[in-house]
Structure 1
Amino acid sequence: MEELHRFLDGKCKISNNILTGIMALDVLFRHKPSMNYATGGRSFFTNQGSRALFGGVEVWQGYYQSARPTPRKMMINFDLNATAFYESGSLVQMVVKILNKRTVDDLRRIQDGDRPKLEKALKNLKIYVTHRGENASKRRLRITKLTSTAATHTKFEVNGVQKDVATYFQETYNKCLQYPFLPCVVVRKETCFPMEVCNIVEGQRYMRKLNEKQTADMIKFTCQPPSVRANKITQGLQILDYRQNEYMQQFGLKVSNEMAVVQARVLPAPKLQYHPTSRDASFVPNNGSWNLRDKKVATGATLGSWACVVFGSERDYPQQAVQKFLRELITTCQDTGMNIPNKILPILHSNPQGDIEKSLKQAWVRAGNLAKSQPQLILCILPNTGVALYAEIKRVSDTVIGVATQCIQGKHMFAAKKQYCANVCLKINVKLGGMNSFIDPAQVPFITQRPTILMGADVTHPAPGEQNAGRPSIAAVCASMDAKASRYAASIRFQTGRLEVITDLAEMVKERLKTFYQTCGRKPERILFYRDGVSESQFKKVLEEEIKAIKTACKSLDEKYNPTITFVVVQKRHHTRFFPMGDRESDRTGNCQPGTVVESIITHPFEFDFYLQSHPGLQGTSRPTHYHVLFDQNGFYADSLQTLSYNLCYVFARCTRAVSLVPPVYYAHLVCSRARFHATGENWSDTDSTSEGPGIANYAVVKPELLKVMYFI
C-alpha cells in the first residue's frame, strides 16, 4: 500500500506491487456483493425490476464497480450495467418462448427444423426437478441434449423390461404427464426427464448473441436520460452500502457516498468550410450539429456511370416509385454540389434470395455499356434490414467487382425525403473520391503548418463462443491523404484471432505513407496515431511493438526519414459518465454540452490523459471518450491535443453533427466491421450459426481501386 500511495502522488511508476494493491482493493469491496448477488465480470446483478426480452430471456439491472487510481487518491468507478439472463421457472414455458409459439399445445407439432434450434438453446442450461420432493429440487443438473423422440416413445430398460418415460412416471410417481408429446431432456450420462418436471435455475447469464428484437428491447431498458441514470446509481450505492460492509471496516476503508465533483471546461466549436459558392460557405456550428441547407460539398465528385438494382419484384417496387426516388436523389446531389451528367441509368429488378453476384455483375455491365465508361456506383434498394443480403452485396462489390455500392432501404425509397437524400449524397460523394467539408486551416495549425498525417487503428476480434473458434481478428489502419484531413484511405489485415497487437502494422503504415506522398507530393513530417480498442493491461506491449513498427515503416521508405510520432490510445469502453450540475451546463437531452473536457481529479495520477465528450446527446446518457497519450515527440500540451481532437470530430464524412470519436479511429472501426462481410461461405441467416467460422484463408481482399476512396462509409 505504501508503494501504491507513492504512485498516486506521482513519485514512482506503475509496478506489479501497485497492480496487486489495486486488485486487492477490487477483491475487497467486491467480496460481499458477490456472496449476495449474481455476478459477471466486475458487475453484480439483481432481478428487482427485471424486464422480459423476447425468447425466454430477461434483462437484469446491474451495478459495475472498480477501483481506479487518480491523482493523490483511489476512487471507485461505480456505474449502471445490464445483462441478459435466462428466465427462471418452467422449462416447458421456456420452450414455448424459444420457438415463439402461443401455447404449449402449439408444440404438438415441433418441426424437424426446430429441434436443433431448441437443443442448441437449452444445451448446458442448469435445471432442477420438481417431482421428487424438497431435497431433489436442490440438486442442480445440466442439460446435455434432447431425446429425438417424445416422452411416450423414449424407452429405457427397467429390470430387464423396456419402458417408455411416460409409463415409468405414471407407475413410479403416480404422475400422468400433461405433455407426453414433448421430447425429454438428457442430463449427466443418459438420464432422461420429461420437460414438465424440470424448472430452470434462477440467475443464469445468457451468453449468446442477442437477436434484433432482443437487442431493441435491451436498448429500451438501458437507455436512460442522465438524471434518471444518476438517481439509479445513487440507489445502487444504497444497495451496496459500503458503510455497513464489515470486510471493508476490518481494513479501515471508508468510501464517500457522494459522486465526485470535477472541474470541466467546454471547448469552442471550430469553423467549418464548404464550397466557396455556397450561400453559407463557412460557419461555426451551434450545439454540435448543423444542416446542409444553402451548402455545397467542398469537392463534388462526378457521377457519370452507374446503375440501380432493386432487390424485389416490380409489383412490390413499381418502376414509377423507383424513378421518383432517383429524380429526388439526383436533384439533391446536384443541389449539394455533385456533378451528375448521366441522369438516365439502367434499373434492374433482382431476387433478394437469388444469385446476388450475378445481379451485381449484370448491373455493372449495363452501367458501363450505357455510359461508355468504367462504372463508378451501383445503387441497391433492399427489402429488409437483414444482414445476409447486405453482407453479400458488400462482399461482391468490394472484393469481386471493385465498385462502390450505396444501399437504401425500400421504406426510405418510397418516402423519398429530401433530408434522407442529402444524407445519402454525403456518403456517395466520398465513396467517389469527393470531400464534404473541412475545418478552417487556421484552426488546425498542427495539420496545416507542416505536412502531417493522421492515422487511426483498430482491431476487432471474433465474438466469444465455440462457433467463432478459428475466426481471425481484423486489423485496420485509416490515414488522412492531405492537409485538409477530410479524406482517408484504408489498409486491412486478417490476423490470428484475439491478438491485440497489430501484426503487420509496419507494412500497413508504409502503404498509408506512400498514398499520402502520392496525393500531395510531400512526405509527412509528423504522425499523429490514434489507437482504438486497447485495454490498460495491454498499453505497455502495444506501445513497445507498435511504435517500433511505425518507425520500421518510415526507415523502410528511406533510411534518413524520421518523422515525429505521437501515439494516443482512444477508449470508449469504460464506465465513466458525466452529469451536469445544473441546466445551464447541459444540452437539451440533459447531457453535458459537446466539447466538454475533464482533465483532472478522475484522470491518471500523473500521465497525459483526458476525457472528451465531443458529441451532442441524442438519447440516453452520453459516454465521453478517454484519450491517453502513451508517446509524444510532437510536444503537445493538454489544450492543443484536446482542441485538435475535438475539432476533428466535426469532419466525420457521413453526417452533419460532431461525433463521439476522432474520425481516423471511427473510420478504422467501420473498415473492420465491413471486412467481416468479406468472408466466403459465412452463414449470416442465423445469429448462432453452428458451423465453425471461416478462417483467414476464406477472407477476400478489397480491390485496390476502392482502397483509395472511402468505400466503407
Structure 2
Amino acid sequence: MGWAVARGVELQSTCPPRPKKASTLGREIAVTLNTYNLFGMPTKTAYQYDITIVSQNPAKGTTATDPPKRGLVKKIWESKAVKQELGDGHMWLHDGNKLAWSSFKLPRPEHRIQVDLDQEEGRANVKKGKENRHKIFVRFTKDVDFSGLQAFFEGQAPWSEACIDTINFFDHAMRENPSHRYTQIKKNFFQRGEKRFALGKGIEAFKGVFSSIRPSLFANGVRGLSVNVDVANGTFWIAQDLGKALLDAFGCSQVAQLQQKFAQAKAGKEGFDGSLFRRDLKRFSKLHVVDTHRSEVGQWCIDKFIAQDCTEKKFQLGDKNGEKGEWITIFDYFKKTYNITCTRGIPLVKMTKGKETYLPVDVLRIEANQRYNSKLDEGQTSNMIKFAVTYPKERWAAVEAGVKLLDWQNDPYLAHYNVKINPHPVEVKARLLPCPDVTMTGGSIKAGAGPAKGRWRIDKMKFLTPNTQPLRSWGICVIGGPRSLPPDAAKKFAQLLITTYKGHGGKFGQGGEDPWIGPGNLAQGGEMINSVWQATGNKFTARPQLLVFIVNDKNIDVYRRIKKSCDCRFGVVSQVLQSAQCVKLDSQYASNVCMKINAKLGGSTSRATGTALARVNPKFATTSMMCVGADVSHPAPGSGSSEAASFAAITVSQDSHFARYTAECNTNGRRLEMITTQNIDTHFKNQAKTWIMNCGKGNPPKRILYVRDGVSEGQYQYVLEQEVKDMKAVMKEVAPGSDCKFTVVIAGKRHHIRFFPKAGTGDQRTGNAMPGTLVENGCTHPFEWDFYLCAHAAIKGTARPIHYQVILNEGDFGGEELQQFIFEQSFQYARSTTPVSLFPAVYYAHLAADRARAHENTTPVSSGKKGDKKGEDGKTETSGSSNTGKPSTEVNPLVPLNISGGIQNVMWFI
C-alpha cells in the first residue's frame, strides 16, 4: 500500500504478505511478459527542486502565483533565460509542473530567474498589460535517496516517502527524452507521422507506446524495478480545416445542411444555448487552431461557438491611436481587409485569448496531434475496436516496436544518471491451473471436452436448476418498424424458444406453451408496456411472469425505457431481443436466450466441479461462505458528468454453489468511489438477510469473500475502513453475536500487463494464454499478496488477465485455495458457455450498475451543490463527509424495483 503514503493516507496496517509457497497446482508453463527489469540503482546523486512560476500578467480568472497552463510552463522552462541560469548541460528533468531534478546542486538554496518570452520570441512594442513575462523560483528541496528503496527491496526498511520520491525520479528520467521527440499524453507517447486510422466524424486513431515503472518481484526471487511497456491506442482530431471538421462531426455532406442545423437550433423552443446542436459543438472547446488569413500565422484556443454568424456579429474598428471608429460586421471586415468571403449561416468561434475575439471557421485550421477527449459514439467505438484489437503476435511486435521507439540504450538522460534497463523481456514460470468440469443436471461436460479450451456446448444438457415456478403467464411483444419481425416469424421463434427451454429442463405450466404474442408501438411510450402487461395478464388471468420484447435494432434509449417500466412499474423480468437475430431461428441463439431467461426465473445454468479445492482445503465444502461483489460506475468524462450520478451495485451469492446471485443498486453521489454507508446499510442488509434465511438456514456465513471492482491503491484503506466496516456492522445487526471472517480482494482490469505464452503452451488458434494461466512473479508486488490470472479464452485480440490484490484475509484463505476458487468460479457465469475473465460476483455488479441507469429518477434535486468541478475532468472522490459516509454532492436515488412479484430475489439484471 506504498502509493497511499504519497497521497497522505495514514495506514494502520499493511496488506497481507505473499504466501510463503507459490502455487504448485496444475502444470508449469513458460510465459513472456511485457515487462523489462532495471539493473541496480544509479550511482550518481540526483537533487530534487521545487519549481514555482509567477506570471506578470496571469490568465483571466487566475492569480499571479497560480501555475500557468502546461503549454506555457513548458515554454518558460525551455526558455533561454532558464537554460542559461541552470546550465543546459546538467541534464535537468522536469515534470511539466512543480518538480525538477538535476545531478548538479545549485550553489544557492533558491534561484530567481526572469523570463521575457516577448523578447525571446521577437515580439516588440507589446501593449502594456499584455506582456508575456514571468519569474521562476527554483528551490532545492532534497537529495533523491536511492539507498532507501534498495533497503526496502532487501526487506531492511519499510516503504516510505523516500521510496516514492525515488520512483518519481525514475519515472521522469524515463519520460524526459521521449517527451522531446514524440507527442506525450501522460505515460503514452505517439510518434509524429504514424499511420492513421479514421474513426469517422473527424476523429482518427493511431498507435503509440505506453511505459510505466513499478516495484516488482522478479522471476528469480530478487526484488527491484521493472518497466511495463505496452501498446497505446490514442484518439485524435484530424488535422484539417475547421469547417470540414464541422461537416464531418455532424454528418453533413454540404454546407447547406450545417446551415440548416444552425438555423433550427436558433429557432427551437430551447434556443441555441439549450439545443442539442450547441451541446455537440462543446466537444470543440479547448481545441487549438491556427488562422490561415495572415502571413504571420496566429495560434488560438477555441472557447465556444456563439449563436451569431459572420453577418450578425459586429465590432468597432479602432485606429493606431486607440480611437474608436465605425462598427462593421465580421463578414464585411474579412471581405474588405483580406478579400475573404466568409460563409454565412454557421456559428462564429469565440476564442479564449482576449475578452471579445471572434473568428469565422473559414480561416481556421485544426493543429495536428491533438487528443480527442470526448466519448466516442457507437460507430466510432466500433471502428476503434477494429483498430485496437490485435492478436498476441501483432501486439508483441508492437511492444517490441515501442521498445525501439523508447530507445533506452541511446537515451542521454538515462545514460547521464546511469539508469540501465534490460532490453530483453521478462520470462516467468507460470502455472496452468487445473480446469474444472462443468456440471449440469444429469451429467457433466468434462474439462477436456471444452472447458479447458475455453468454450463448450450445452446441446441436450439440462440446466443445473430450472425455473422455480412453472412458466405459464408470459407474453411476446413484437415492436413495429421497418425491420419488424413478421407475425409468422414471431410465432416460429416463440416455438423454437419453448422447445429449446424445455430441452434444457425449463418448466411450463398449463397453457404456458402458448404465450400471448402481439404488436407494440414505441410511440405509445410507457403505455405500450402497460398494454403488453394487461394483454398477457388477461390471457392467462394471472400476473405475468416474463415479458419478451423483439425490437428492430440496437437502441439504448428504447432498451432502458422498456427495462424501467418492467423493473420499476410492473416488477416483472423482461428480455429484449433483436428481430435480426430472431428471424434466423438459430438454435444456439435460442439456447443463449434461455440461459438468461432461466436465471431471471430463479434457475441456474451450471456449476464448476473440480477436485483441486478439496485437496488444498478439505474443509472448504463444509465451511459456509457468502460471496459479495461490488462495483461503482461513473459517467463517462465529457458527457455532462458534472451533473450525472455515479452508481453503486452490490451482489450477493444465494446458493451453496455460488451459481445464483441477487443484486441491488442505487445512486452513489457524483463521482464518489466509496460505497456510501446508506447504500450498504440498505442494499447489502437486504441481501444478507435473504442469504441467512435461505442459504444459511437461519445462520450467518463463517466466511465472506468480498471482491471489489478495481480501486486505486491509495483507496484500499478506505475500502477497509468504510465499506468493510459498514458491512461488518450490518452482519452484527442481522445476526447478533456473529463473527463473519472477511477476505477482501481488489479485482483490477485497468493495467497493461499481458501474457505471451511460449509456443505449445497457448491457444493454437489465437496465440493467447489458455484459461487458468496464473502469474505470481515478474510483474507482481515485491512483498504483498497479489497475482495475475487469465481465466478466459479471448476470442478476439490479446487476452487481458485480471490483477487480484488481497488487502484483508481474516478468512484465512490459502494461496492455492483462493486462486483456484476464483478460477473455477469463472466457469459459472450464468449467461455464458465460456469462462469469463472476471470473478462473476463483480461481473454481475457491472451488469447491475449498467442496468440501473435505466432506473434513474430524473426529477430535479432542489438542494445540493451544483457543478462539482471534479466531475468535469473525470476525477473521483474517495468518500463523502467524514463521519456519515453520505455523498458529497446530493443526487436523487433510483426509482426502486417493484418487489411485489419477487423480482429482487432473481437475477433480473442478467
SS at match of 1:489: strand
| CA distance in structure 1 between the aligned counterparts of 2:769 and 2:859, rounded to whole angstroms | 42
Say if 2:800 is the partner of 1:636.
Answer: no
Q: 1:284 to 1:151 in 2, by over 3 A?
A: closer
CA–CA separation in structure 2 for the residues paired with 1:509 and 1:380: 31
Alignment of 1:396-415 (within 5 A): 396-415=565-584
1:468 maps to amino acid: S
Secondary structure of the corresponding residue to residue 510 of structure 1:
helix
Select the residue among 169, 172, 183 that pairs with 1:27: 172
CA contact (8 A) 1:447 1:483 kept: no
Q: Is the 8 A contact 1:147 1:154 kept in 2?
A: no
Do structure 1's residue 185 and structure 2's residue 344 form an aligned pair? Answer: no
Structure 2, gaps ≥5 residues long? 1-145, 218-222, 266-276, 318-323, 861-866, 873-888
> In the alignment, is the contact (CA less than 8 A) between 1:587 and 1:593 conserved in 2?
no
Give 1:76 deviation, angstroms.
Answer: 0.7
1:431 corresponding residue in structure 2:
600
Which range moves more in the overlay, 289-298 or 540-549? 540-549
Q: Measure, in 1, the Cα distance between the counterparts of 2:196 and 2:482.
A: 46
Other structure's SS at 2:738 match:
coil
- Is structure 2 residue 236 aligned with structure 1 residue 85? yes
Counterpart position of 2:56: none
Which residue does the alignment assign to 1:94?
245
Tell me the residue number matched to 1:702: 897
Task: Identify the residue that residue 549 of structure 2 maps to in structure 1.
Answer: 380
Alpha-carbon distance in 1 for matches of 2:760, 2:610: 34
**Which shifted more, 661-670 or 40-49?**
40-49
Q: Which residue of 2 aligns with 1:157?
A: 316
**Is residue 667–residue 893 contact of structure 2 (8 Å, CA) maintained in 1?**
no
Tell me how far 1:391 sits from its aligned partner. Answer: 0.9
State the distance in 1 between where 2:481 and 2:202 align.
36
- State the AA in 2 paired with 1:148: A
Aligned to 1:686: none
2:397 to 219, 231, 247: 231
Q: Is the Cα–Cα contact under 8 Å of residues 573 and 908 in structure 2 kept in the other structure?
A: yes
Shift of residue 22, structure 1, vs aligned partner: 1.7
Alignment counterpart, residue 123 of structure 1, candidates 247, 261, 285: 285
Deviation of 1:423 after TM superposition, in Å, equals 0.1
- Structure 1 residues 192 and 359: CA distance shift in structure 2, 3 A: same
Answer whether contact 1:79 1:575 (CA < 8 A) is retained: yes
1:233-632 equivalences under 5 Å are: 233-276=399-442, 285-301=451-467, 302-313=470-481, 316-341=484-509, 342-355=512-525, 357-440=526-609, 444-445=613-614, 448-465=621-638, 467-504=640-677, 505-520=680-695, 521=697, 522-632=699-809
- Superposed counterparts of 1:165-244, under 5 Å: 165-173=330-338, 175-177=339-341, 179-180=343-344, 182-187=346-351, 188-244=354-410
Q: Secondary structure at the match of 1:661?
A: coil
Evaluate the alpha carbon distance shift between residue 488 and residue 108 of structure 1 in structure 2; reply closer, same or farther with a 3 A threshold: closer
Does structure 2 retain, via aligned residues, the 8 Å contact 1:8–1:605? yes
Q: 1:9 to 1:382 in 2, by over 3 A?
A: farther
Equivalent in the alignment of 2:181: 36
Partner deviation per Cα, 1:683-703 (whole Å, 9 max, x = no partner): 9xxxxxx99999631621223
**What SS does the aligned partner of 1:415 have?**
coil
Distance apart, 1:444 and its partner CA: 4.9
SS at match of 1:448: coil
Question: For structure 1, which segment, 702-711 or 306-315, has the greater mean C-alpha deviation from structure 2 after superposition?
Answer: 306-315
1:95 partner amino acid: L
Superposition deviation, residue 373 in structure 1:
2.3
Count of aligned pairs between the two proteins: 701
SS of residue paired to 2:757: coil
Deviation at 1:168, TM superposition (A): 1.7
Deviation at 1:111, TM superposition (A): 4.6
**Partner of residue 652, structure 1:** 829
Q: CA deviation at 1:119?
A: 3.3
Offset of residue 267 of structure 1 = 0.9
Match of 2:196, SS state, is: strand
Larger radius of gyration: 2
Distance 1:68 1:132, change over 3 A: same
- Report deviation, 1:364: 1.7
CA-CA distance at 1:365 after TM superposition: 2.1
Distance verdict in 2 for CA 1:389–1:444, change over 3 Å: farther
Partner of residue 146, structure 1: 305
Secondary structure in structure 1 of the residue aligned to 2:583: helix
Measure, in 1, the Cα distance between the counterparts of 2:516 and 2:284.
Answer: 50
Q: Is the 8 A contact 1:272 1:284 kept in 2?
A: no
Change beyond 3 A, Cα 1:58–1:377:
same
How does 1:8-19 map onto structure 2 within 5 Å?
Answer: 8-19=153-164
Alpha-carbon distance in structure 1 between the residues aligned to 2:433 and 2:798: 20
Q: Measure how far apart 1:161 and its partner are.
A: 2.8
| Counterpart in the other structure of 2:23 | none
C-alpha separation in 2, matches of 1:375 and 1:109: 48
Change (3 A) 1:631 1:149: closer
Deviation at 1:162, TM superposition (A): 3.4
Give 1:447 shift: 5.2
Secondary structure of the structure 2 residue equivalent to 1:269: coil
* Gapped regions of structure 1 (runs ≥ 5): 684-689
Report the Cα distance in structure 1 between the residues aligned to 2:816 and 2:157, rounded to whole angstroms: 26
Kindly state the Cα deviation for residue 256 of structure 1 after the two structures are TM-superposed: 1.3
- Judge conservation of contact 1:448–1:484 (CA < 8 Å) in 2: no
TM-score between the two structures when normalised by the length of structure 1: 0.93
Contact 1:46 1:60 in 2 (8 A): no
Q: CA deviation at 1:120?
A: 2.5
Amino acid across the alignment from 1:44: F
| CA shift digits 1:442-490 (9 cap, x unpaired) | 6655652221111111111222237221333211211111211101111
Offset at 1:316? 3.6
Residue-by-residue CA offset, 1:646-687 (whole Å, 9 max, x unaligned): 00000000010110011111111111111112114499xxxx
8 Å CA contact retained: 1:567, 1:630? yes
Aligned amino acid, residue 597 of structure 2 = I
- Distance change (3 Å), C-alpha of 1:441 and 1:512: farther
* Partner SS, residue 548 of structure 2: strand
Cα deviations by residue, 1:543-581 (Å, 9 ceiling, x for unpaired)? 233332232222223342002221111111111001112
Deviates more, 1:572-581 or 1:161-170: 161-170
Question: In the alignment, is residue 73 of structure 1 matched against residue 224 of structure 2?
Answer: yes
Residue 507 of structure 1: how far off its partner (Å): 4.6
Q: For residue 170 of structure 2, what is the amino acid of its counterpart?
A: L
Instruction: State the alpha-carbon separation in 2 of the partners of residues 362 and 632 from structure 1.
Output: 52
Structure 1 position 108, deviation (Å):
5.4
Cα distance change on mapping 1:168 and 1:181 into 2, 3 Å: same
Taking every aligned residue pair, what percent have the same amino acid on both sides? 33
Give the C-alpha shift of residue 616 in structure 1: 0.7
In the alignment, is the contact (CA less than 8 A) between 2:567 and 2:573 conserved in 1?
yes
Query: Given that residues 482 and 552 in structure 2 are in contact (C-alpha distance below 8 angstroms), is that contact kept between their aligned partners in structure 1?
Result: no
Structure 2 CA distance, aligned partners of 1:636 and 1:132? 71
Matches of 1:562 and 1:510, distance apart in 2: 16
Normalization by structure 2: what TM-score?
A: 0.73
Deviation at 1:75, TM superposition (A): 0.4
1:393-424 CA-to-partner distances (Å, cap 9, x unmatched) read 11111122111000001101211211100000
Aligned residue number for residue 136 of structure 2 = none
Residue in 2 aligned with 1:687? none
* RMSD, aligned α-carbons: 2.5
